[in-house]
Structure 1
Amino acid sequence: MDINDMEDEDLGFSRNYFLAKESGTSAKKSWHKLSDIDLVPEEELRAVALDLKPKHEKEVKALMDSYRNLYQDWVFELRCGFGLLMYGFGSKKNLIEDFASTALTEYSVLVVNGYLQPVNIKQVLAAVADLFWDQIKAKRKTTGNLSNVQQPYNTKSTDDLFSFLDGSLAEENDSFVCVVIHNIDGPGLRDSDTQQSLARMAACSHVRVVASIDHVNASLLWDKKMVHTQFNWCCHHVPTFAPYKAETMFHPLILAHSGGSQTAKTAAIVLQSLTPNAQSVFKVLAEYQLAHPEEEGMAVNDLYTICRERFLVSSQVTLNSHLTEFKDHELVKTRKHSDGQDCLYVPLSTEAIQKVLMEISQ
């Protein structure tokens, strides 16, 4: 047999092999659909997941204790003007909050949950400015000399807030507000404008940022200037192997049916991250909706009147800031009343609203 005959035989064998595989796979093609799977309720699946017993508890505890030995080094890096960026497998939420509550007691701390829905950066800046203003008042309380510093809540633009936080107050050189950002790469913070605002805030002389990242492409959010000049990151590999309970609460489980109870739980977690006054404003609207189920919603003027009577808000501007926060997190929506006026309503079922009120009242 010559070489050409051997090549023809090999080609024929290969052709028959792939034809057989093709016919075999076509005969075994399944017509089942994903919708045919008997999925369990999402609440039940999450409950089972919460009951899973953690493994290697001793090793994890030893790992966390080793990180606590680094707290003073991290504080030193913050005082030197660096920002701390924590990465590694596992939730860093408890670790960072433990660091803030034990090692940053001399400074004001603001926590931003980046794993929530879109965050209002203007409100974050205003809150940081208010905290820094409180630091100034505490240090100058004995002298009473506050006339040469403008109160941040009197400002009307983000530029004014940035100027205040980047001011050159000689006696306040060692004072700063630490902004803790859980998941700075979260869905609500990934857009370019938000990252630019956060970087500009981090570059202020009286602001330090401690943030965590988990997304594999998180570094693509920043350019070289943002990394080395504005955020001025000092990166730390701190795997905790802790479950992402809070961070994944807002992501639907693939193998579960979503339900109203889970929606109520999500809304309650969002509300618990807001101020007590904001929670009380939401309670007013929710209780009104429960008491008047036949109505299309509550008029903004009526909500303002009740909230002002209960000393929950001092002005329409304050109420509007709360409503903006609610709308950003889709806790409250607006629709036209039959008389043409805009009215507010909570886009949840009666049962879900009752569960939310119970959660935030505990």
Structure 2
Amino acid sequence: MDLNCEEEEDELGFSRNYFLAKELGSSGKKSTHKLSDIDVVDEQELRAAASNIEPKHKNETAVLMDNYRHMYSQWVFALRCGSGLLMYGFGSKKALIEDFASTSLTKYSVVVINGYLQAINLKQVVIAISEILWDQLKAKRKTLSHGLPKSHQPFSSQSMDDLLEFLDEAEAEAEEDCFVCVVIHNIDGPGLRDSETMQYLARLAACTHIRIIASIDHVNAPLLWDKKMVHTQFKWCWYHVPTFAPYKAEGMFYPLILAHGSATQSVKTATIVLQSLTPNAQSVFRVLAEHQLSHPDEEGMPINDLFSVCREHFLVSSQVTLNSHLTEFKDHELVKIRRHSDGQDCLYIPLSAEAIQKLLLEISQ
């Protein structure tokens, strides 16, 4: 009995010492280190370093890509049967899909949507698709006297519903093997994943002479669609095609966790967007930028003033034209609107004066 008592006392003593040590440790001075104290590298330097990393297993990935190329004929067959292609698996599928489109879809028109961008003007994409299909119909038929009631109306002036209705009505006029391929890199990207946009894409995919080739990377991407969208509109054929390729293009527009956000990166992103726009749109943006640089104390440039200056320089002919440019700017967050003290809506560029100057130099080259 005495031996057992001694053992129990030892155990109790150990327990007391353990909790006493924990209490003394917690009563000490807490660390003053904060996450903000971490000396993180500049974003441009981090991206440059990441781009210089040598890819591993080049031979194995090359063999993998060759195996996928043997599947191209199967993918084309699926498209001709009316299905859409959905690529999933680890690694960027951008190069794989573009190689497939450039080698196996040469007899079809191809429209590309970069879903990894933060904002996408889907209506402009649908307008482009409508114009392509219209040109194909004109080439197939010498006269289009029926079946296309809105053909006399410019596509740019039509609503999304009218455009999709045109694509539906054009089905009877086109041949069975006449279709437009729509490549969507990252259909689960931030610019496309909202419910309204996905409904429009599903309606687009349901048109007989439209084919969707898309990629997904988010684990919850299938939750974007219901059964009707999957089986009767998109009509997906799922293909597991891991490429193990880095997400270079897709990651360009996302801030890096271990890096500062920098004005240089903002200028680079804005430059990419502006260079994809028309020269007139760039000139309108330049007018706004120069006004902001010359009037740093003002809250922005009133829309009416911008229209007057642009009309004087023959950049726009109507308020509708200016609004189309402004919609493009706002979709890509190049320009924002705020209320002036006198009640007017004013436009401003959410960049520093130094960043705006760099941006103007970039688009002038």
TM-score grouping bracket, smaller chain normalisation: 0.7 to 0.9
Query: How many residues get paired?
Result: 352
Contact 1:286 1:346 (C-alpha < 8 Å) held by counterparts: no
Which segment drifts farther, 13-22 or 350-359?
13-22
The amino acid of 2:290's aligned partner reads L
Which position in structure 1 is the counterpart of 2:177?
174
Residue of structure 2 aligned with 1:300, choices 306, 313, 319: 306
For 1:112-131, list aligned pairs within 5 A: 112-131=113-132
The Cα of 1:122 is off from its aligned counterpart by 2.5
Q: Report what 1:161 is aligned to.
A: 163
Which amino acid in structure 2 is aligned with residue 71 of structure 1? Y
State the match for 1:201 in structure 2. Answer: 204
Q: Which runs of 4+ in 1 moved over 6 A?
A: 4-11, 337-340
Q: In the aligned structure 2, how far is the partner of 1:228 from the partner of 1:165?
A: 20
- Other structure's SS at 1:228 match: helix
Q: Does 1:146 align with 2:149?
A: no
What whole-Å deviation, never above 9, does each CA across 1:224-263 have from its counterpart, x for those lacking one?
A: 1111111111011111111111211122112211111011
Q: Which amino acid aligns with 1:80?
A: C
> Which deviations, in whole Å up to 9, do the C-alpha atoms of 1:119-155 show, x marking residues without a partner?
2332222222112112112223xx2x13333327356
- Residues 54-99 of structure 1: CA deviation (Å, up to 9, x unaligned): 1122222222222222222111111111111111111111211222
Task: Provide the TM-score with structure 1 as the length reference.
Answer: 0.85
Q: Tell me, in whole angstroms, the C-alpha distance in 2 between the residues paired with 1:321 and 1:118.
A: 15
1:44 corresponding residue in structure 2: 45
CA distance in 2, matches of 1:33, 1:90: 34
> Contact (CA 8 Å) 1:300, 1:342: kept in 2 or not?
no
Tell me whether 78-87 or 284-293 shows the greater mean CA deviation: 284-293
Instruction: Sort the Cα spacing of 1:105 and 1:18 in 2 relative to 1 into closer, same or farther, 3 A.
Output: farther
SS in 2 for 1:246: helix
Letter in 2 for 1:176: F
Measure how far apart 1:302 and its partner are: 3.1
1:8, CA displacement in angstroms?
Answer: 7.0
Identity of aligned residues (%): 61
- Structure 2: stretches of 5+ with no match in the other structure: none
Quick one: distance in 2 between partners of 1:316 and 1:106? Answer: 40
| Partner deviation per Cα, 1:10-35 (whole Å, 9 max, x = no partner) | 98589558736744763595331011
Amino acid at match of 1:116: L
- Does residue 109 (structure 1) correspond to residue 110 (structure 2)? The answer is yes
Residue matched to 1:282: 282
Indicate the larger mover: 199-208 or 154-163.
154-163
Structure 1: distance between partners of 2:218 and 2:17: 43
- Comparing 69-78 and 83-92, the one that deviates more: 69-78
Give the Cα–Cα distance (whole angstroms) in 2 for the partners of residues 11 and 69 of structure 1: 70
Q: Which residue pairs with 2:270 in the alignment?
A: 267
Change (3 A) 1:103 1:350: farther
Per the TM alignment, residue 7 of structure 1 is displaced from its structure 2 partner at its CA by: 11
**Contact 2:338–2:347, Cα closer than 8 Å, also in 1:** yes
Q: Distance in 2 between matches of 1:20 and 1:226?
A: 62
The alpha-carbon deviation at position 337 of structure 1 amounts to 6.5
Confirm or deny: 8 A CA contact 2:284 2:310 kept in the other structure. Answer: no
Q: Which ranges in structure 1 are unaligned for 5 or more consecutive residues?
A: none
User: Is the contact between residue 74 and residue 84 of structure 1 (CA under 8 Å) also seen in structure 2?
Assistant: yes
**In structure 2, how many angstroms separate the alpha carbons of the residues matched to 1:342 and 1:184?**
34
Moved more, 279-288 or 42-51: 279-288
Residue pair 1:86, 1:238 contacting (<8 A) in 2 also = yes
Bigger drift between 262-271 and 292-301 goes to: 292-301
Q: Secondary structure at the match of 1:105?
A: coil
2:351 alignment partner AA: L
C-alpha distance in 1, partners of 2:127/2:10?
76
The alignment status of 1:232 with 2:230, answered yes or no, reads no
Select between 201-210 and 164-173 the one with higher mean Cα deviation. 164-173
Per-residue CA distance 1:161-217 (angstroms, 9 max, x = gap):
122212232443221111111111111212111111111111111211111111111
Are the equivalent residues in 1 in contact too, given 2:137–2:174 (CA < 8 A)?
no
| 1:326-337 equivalences in 2 (<5 Å) | 326-335=329-338
Query: Is 2:254 the partner of 1:254?
Result: no
Pair 1:87 & 2:88 matched: yes
| Maintained 8 Å contact 2:119/2:190 | yes
The change in CA–CA distance for 1:127 and 1:29 in structure 2 (over 3 A counts) is same
**In structure 2, do the counterparts of structure 1 residues 44 and 10 end up closer, same or farther at CA, with 3 Å as the change threshold?**
same
Per-residue deviation at 1:331? Answer: 0.5
Aligned-residue CA RMSD (Å): 3.1
Distance 1:213 1:361 in 2: 36
If the length of structure 2 is used for normalisation, what is the TM-score? 0.84
CA shift in 2, pair 1:245/1:294, >3 Å: same
Please say if residues 284 and 303 of structure 1, whose CA atoms lie closer than 8 Å, have aligned partners that are also in contact.
no
Aligned mates of 1:339, 1:219 — CA distance in 2: 48
